[in-house]
Amino acid sequence: MEDLHAENAVQDQPWDRSRQLTLRAVIAGMLLGGFMSLSNLYVALKTGWSIGVSITAGILAYAIFAALFKVRAVRTHFGMLENNAMQSVASAAGYMTGGGTVAAIPALMMITGAPMGGWQMFFWISSIAMLGVVMAIPMKQQMINVEQLRFPTGVAAAETLKALHGEEGEGAGKAKLLAWGGVAGAVTAFLRDAKASWMPWNLPEKIQLPFITLKGRPLTDYTLSFEGSLIMLGAGAIMGFRAAWSMLLGAVINFGVLAPWLYERGIIDSRLGYKHIVAWSVWFGSAMILTSGLLAFAFQWKTVVRAVKSVGSAFGGAALSDEEKAEVPMLWFFIGLAVFSPVVIFLEWFLFGIKIWMGAVSIGLGFFIAIVACRATGETDTTPTGALGKITQITFGALDPSNITTNLMTANVTGGMGLHAADLLTDLKSGYLLKADPRQQFWAQFFGVLAGSLFVVPAYRLLIPTADLLGTDKWPAPGAQTWKGVAELLAKGFNTLHPTAQAALAIGAVLGIALVLVEKAFPKYRKYIPSPTGLGLAFTTPAFNTISMFVGAAIALAMEKNHPEAAERTVVPVSSGLIAGESLVGVLIAALVVAGFLQ
């Protein structure tokens, strides 16, 4: 109740007119968010998970400007509301991977074998993101000001900024932990991936268990090994223990039990390895993720109804209060819709041959999905873009049967719109608690979208120059595997699969439903029930990634149990540092290889 009263007290006060969206806040947000978008791209192509960037960016910006102020490189302190505006820019940039670069675009590449041009990708993901930002305008006042939805990440970001700018030493301490984690990750990546004649040795990419075999083949053939990486340890620590142990369970079943059995019977390619095993197991994993996501979404039908009703009230003609006049005007929504909708529809037709009327349908469906995504994020801190994207895939699977491109890229539009709308509302929640100007945060998102696109597109083309790299041990792209599987199933039909794959698909679908129902029936025992998303994702992720993530989650859990205060201060900064350091050096090494400095 205290939090609610505090938020209501904020509602009664005018917006703080302190410096907010300053030039230095924009530049810092674009650079920090852009670099973190590279981390998200790197990690998501390996694990299927994305990492939140706003809190990490806030800590880094605080530390950087504090250091600059000490050496008199800047004349004034970096204020809390400046940092909040910077977080809005950085968050929008960091989530540019949600525009399709880790799901729909690599899925289409795997199916067609053709890469997407750089400029085409830039305009595609940017226009979707900007339309998503616009879609959030009618939802902000109702969901944040009136209903006081929690948006937990937004609250956490606001509290972090209050602590950083209010307690001496807190920001510096977290920044040091981030830095040490970053150094450890960077050194690991360099010693593992930087191969040159002047380097006498490299860290191993995989740590094998010798003398142990399954069906006469070494464990590494089934991806059962330890990865020479710290990224997955950090990702597991942030992910949480339930998802991590669920993934480990799935990895043991898939790669330790089913794959050897299928290999012995000649059902999967005798070369084994991730690519050939997942060609079968993706059907089980995709079905489980699909049915569990859709059923969990269906249980939120009251949320859907409330979302539609609440947004409808934003278009009413009642007189505006002083606070409402300070909000982003509804006119901006209509202008944005008029500008960006035709652009997205044109790009759907021009780039992918999607019929104009189908493009218009995808925009309308995207508005509905954005409404639901925003409310789900506000209530649960989870944006169900995967499940919502599958709704689009099923819809267009019926409207345009057998057209895989239409299926994937319309879902890319609706899912991207929902993600970016929810991201803006999360940032606006932080601003609301800190009394920031919502109009300035709205513009901050556009700077972030631009920065994220400028960083992500060349990095994607650098890391994935050809389609044959996707679905390999190096770039497994688990999220894209699921999108690809659903698209192919809707296009080709159930009967084209091997009988065992058909059985796996049916069992996965039923198990996904069953786990959601069990979780719903016994909420007190939720932590003991496998996460259907985690379990399903394990069937599309190499076991060596899953094992490392489980180790990271176990370390974090042990710290939380034995040293809770220390864990609260250290787990997220150190894990974020490991991820950022290793992923950024990984991208840098890829660039040096292309330039000829490394082999």
- pLDDT, tens digit (0-9, with 9 covering 90-100), for 11-68: 444 455 567 889 999 999 999 999 888 888 888 888 776 777 788 888 888 888 988 9
Average pLDDT over residues 582-593: 82
pLDDT at 283 over 80: yes
pLDDT at 120 over 90: yes
Cα 129 to the center of its chain, rounded Å: 14
Which of 29, 41, 42 lies closest to 97 in space, CA to CA?
41
- pLDDT, tens digit (0-9, with 9 covering 90-100), for 261-272: 999 999 988 889
Write the CB contacts of 11 (distance below 8 Å, at least 6 apart in sequence).
Answer: 145, 323, 432
Q: What is the pTM of this model?
A: 0.79
Ranked by mean pLDDT, the top range of 131-145, 151-165, 195-209, 452-466 is 452-466
Residue 537 banded pLDDT, cuts 50, 70, 90 = confident
CB 315 within 8 A of CB 306: no
DSSP 8-class letter at 158: H
Write the CB contacts of 267 (distance below 8 Å, at least 6 apart in sequence).
Answer: 280, 498, 500
Calculate the CA dihedral of residues 135, 138, 144, 147 and round it to 10 degrees: -130
CB 547 within 8 A of CB 207: no
Q: Which residues pair with 206 in a beta bridge?
A: 227
Ranking 67-81, 273-287, 334-348 by mean pLDDT, the lowest is 273-287
Backbone angles phi, psi at 207, to 5 degrees: -105, 110
pLDDT attached to residue 301 = 66
The first and second tokens of residue 169, run together, are 């030493």
Write the CB contacts of 301 (distance below 8 Å, at least 6 apart in sequence).
Answer: none
d(CA 368, CA 363): 9
Q: What string of DSSP letters covers 360-414?
A: HHHHHHHHHHHHHHHHHHHHHS---HHHHHHHHHHHHHHHSTT-HHHHHHHHHHH
CB 292 within 8 A of CB 536: yes
How is the chain split into domains, by residue range?
Answer: 2-595
Helix, strand, coil distribution of the chain in percent, nearest 5: 75, 0, 20
d(CA 301, CA 564): 36
pLDDT attached to residue 28 = 94
Residue type, 420: H
d(CA 416, CA 136): 13
DSSP 8-class letter at 73: S
Residue 193 banded pLDDT, cuts 50, 70, 90 = confident
- pLDDT, tens digit (0-9, with 9 covering 90-100), for 382-421: 676 666 677 788 788 888 888 899 989 999 999 889 889 9
Average pLDDT over residues 568-587: 83
pLDDT attached to residue 399 = 86
Give the dihedral sign, CA 314/319/323/327. positive
The first and second tokens of residue 489, run together, are 């199933």
pLDDT attached to residue 5 = 38
DSSP 8-class letter at 253: I
Which of 590, 504, 138, 126 lies closest to 286 in space, CA to CA?
504
Write the CB contacts of 426 (distance below 8 Å, at least 6 apart in sequence).
Answer: 54, 91, 151, 153, 154, 157, 377
Average pLDDT over residues 541-558: 90
Average pLDDT over residues 549-562: 91
How much of the chain, in percent, has pLDDT values that exceed 90?
27
- pLDDT, tens digit (0-9, with 9 covering 90-100), for 218-261: 898 999 988 878 888 888 887 778 888 998 999 999 999 999 99
Ranked by mean pLDDT, the top range of 91-95, 194-198, 296-300 is 91-95
Backbone angles phi, psi at 437, to 5 degrees: -80, 115
pLDDT at 451 over 90: yes
Q: Cα 6–10–16 angle (5° rounding)?
A: 140
pLDDT at 445 over 90: yes
The first and second tokens of residue 197, run together, are 């004649």
